[in-house]
Structure 1
């Protein structure tokens, strides 16, 4: 018979616990609201349904799942004892692997989109189409679902197999699975993202210098065209998005590699994990400061103008 986890709970001073709960709850609510605004904006206004924005929509869905599922579960898990049952424990870990993998996949797709837009602008409209973007987004979420199902295949069959006491929610990942997970969701995608954005940055700098010196036509690439100013601005904004994502994610992956134990529990890497989750709140804040269309759409949503007839076809750009 298993013992209760109450004997092993981490007790913190009441004031400290209250302040932490308030802070994490505020971040959670803010993240839910902001990502919901992004989803409604891009989904509602047809003018915003471009290839790049569809990728941002997919990323916002992943961020919304983080803020509406992972963050509340993590707050509940904060004290170290799990009272929601084995099924909720499986949902907690499954959602974690799903949304992290989907977020990384969306970042790779965003990097590819910007690479083609800046480095091969002549063929951007033929290579990057709405249909292809939707297909890639579907494959990204399919891969994330398969990946999460494979990692948790044993836990899905027996949810409490790793628990040593009643009220515990623990996942044990063996060495081989851990290596595959790190390569699939960190090493490989982050290498692709870094290489693509280094090339984007190099080309963007070259084109900016060419435009400033008014001799761009003498030193253009073989494609014979240069990226539009709006594309360069979008690349800069999305570059900030990707950079922030990498900065917020790296500590957790470094922690995962460095830790010798393969057991992932409530007390393991809490700060690093919350950095990954906090990135879901930062993304829409970046949109707010970078995209005028997002600020306009927020105003129309909050003032309920989206309920008016034909509001989907409004000029929002």
Structure 2
């Protein structure tokens, strides 16, 4: 009787002795640590991205093309924060929500992460045009075009992933080896195409564009220093130029390195894996989620307007405006936040 009780405790569904998956039994302290860590990441991700969303939505002066891309990125990353709760629910490697919810969860996860990567590409294109072709930027890159690009990319992302996982949608749970498992399957050609379109191509575009931006920024900083030397102006101007060059190098380096560190493990595992099955509880998924936590720090905290809007939020001025409906008045949303 004791042996039978122990065996049942190791199953996801004890009532299904012959078909249930086995739970991953962990020490209570390990279980608690993982649970607290994932909960912290989830709350932090949602909180940071909500700050970006509130800041951009509340002030019309922030409705420029770059911030529209940042808003799209923050929305996708905020949803990722909520998706982490599914990881918390299956710490013991058991899926209790059914096969249909499993497929929908994985597809939503792919849609969100694809949209996040795509938005990063749009941001890199935006910065490339702004820095390399500043005279064309105001006319070629407008807020309306930015909204259209974001909307089209989200719709294409949903359609693309539904087609990619169409077999899993038609036959949910078909590839599960036991009850309590959440597994989806991509055929060889689908996996290769997804790898190219979701990782290799976007990463290539981002690296090339940011490398070009970096070269132009450094060149402009050196030209400024040469100009300073020519007109014999001493002191603060030279220091400012030097700081600008260093800041540009550090910022662009952080953007590329953090993105690659957070995304490479998942796609590398998918590339070298002997089978094409993708587990919804794998460690690379968790690291991939962390990129959504870092994005608001990398893309938003470097902007002065974000720090200024944070002061309004944390001093409850923005909340007071919302509660009293002052934010709906024509003048309130036009406050000078820049």
Question: Of 301, 306, 313, which aligns to 2:334?
Answer: 313
Q: 1:147 to 1:138 in 2, by over 3 A?
A: same
State the distance in 2 between where 1:4 and 1:47 align: 62
Q: Does 1:23 align with 2:44?
A: no
Q: 1:104 to 1:61 in 2, by over 3 A?
A: same
State the distance in 1 between where 2:256 and 2:163 align: 27
Question: Of 111, 120, 131, which aligns to 2:144?
Answer: 131
State the distance in 2 between where 1:125 and 1:5 align: 62
Contact 1:197 1:239 in 2 (8 A): no
3-state DSSP of counterpart to 1:171: strand
159-168 vs 112-121, which moves further: 159-168
Cα deviation 1:130-182 (Å, max 9, x = unaligned) = 11111111121112111110111112222222223222211111111100100
3-state DSSP of counterpart to 1:79: coil
Q: 1:5 to 1:199 in 2, by over 3 A?
A: farther
Cα deviation 1:35-86 (Å, max 9, x = unaligned) = 11111111111111111111011001110111112x1112222211111122
State the distance in 1 between where 2:205 and 2:299 align: 23
Unmatched 5+ stretches in structure 2 = 1-15, 231-241
Report matched runs for 1:168-317 at 5 Å: 168-214=181-227, 237=251, 240-266=254-280, 269-270=282-283, 272-287=284-299, 289-306=301-318, 307-308=320-321, 309=326, 310-317=331-338
TM-score by length of 2: 0.82
Report matched runs for 1:143-158 at 5 Å: 143-158=156-171
Contact 1:38 1:60 in 2 (8 A): yes
Cα deviation 1:255-304 (Å, max 9, x = unaligned) = 1111111111256x41x221110111111223564122212212322333
Q: Does 1:92 align with 2:113?
A: no
Q: 1:263 to 1:206 in 2, by over 3 A?
A: same
Question: Of 76, 81, 93, which aligns to 2:94?
Answer: 81
Residue 223 of structure 1 corresponds to which residue in structure 2?
none
Deviation at 1:236, TM superposition (A): 6.7
Q: 1:216 to 1:134 in 2, by over 3 A?
A: farther
Deviation at 1:235, TM superposition (A): 9.2
State the distance in 2 between where 1:312 and 1:234 align: 31
State the distance in 2 between where 1:277 and 1:62 align: 11
State the distance in 2 between where 1:216 and 1:151 align: 58
Question: Of 35, 47, 50, which aligns to 2:49?
Answer: 35
Unmatched 5+ stretches in structure 1 = 218-228
Contact 2:183 2:278 in 1 (8 A): yes
Question: Of 56, 60, 82, which aligns to 2:74?
Answer: 60
Residue-pair matches, total = 302
Q: 1:63 to 1:234 in 2, by over 3 A?
A: farther
4+ runs of 1 displaced by more than 4 Å? Answer: 2-7, 231-239
Contact 1:287 1:294 in 2 (8 A): no
161-170 vs 126-135, which moves further: 161-170
State the distance in 2 between where 1:40 and 1:9 align: 41
State the distance in 2 between where 1:182 and 1:3 align: 38
Question: Which has the greater radius of gyration?
Answer: 2
Q: CA RMSD in A?
A: 2.5
Cα deviation 1:17-37 (Å, max 9, x = unaligned) = 111110111111111111111
State the distance in 2 between where 1:86 and 1:63 align: 25
Deviation at 1:243, TM superposition (A): 3.6
TM-score by length of 1: 0.88
Contact 1:173 1:263 in 2 (8 A): yes
Residue 103 of structure 1 corresponds to which residue in structure 2?
116
Q: 1:58 to 1:236 in 2, by over 3 A?
A: farther
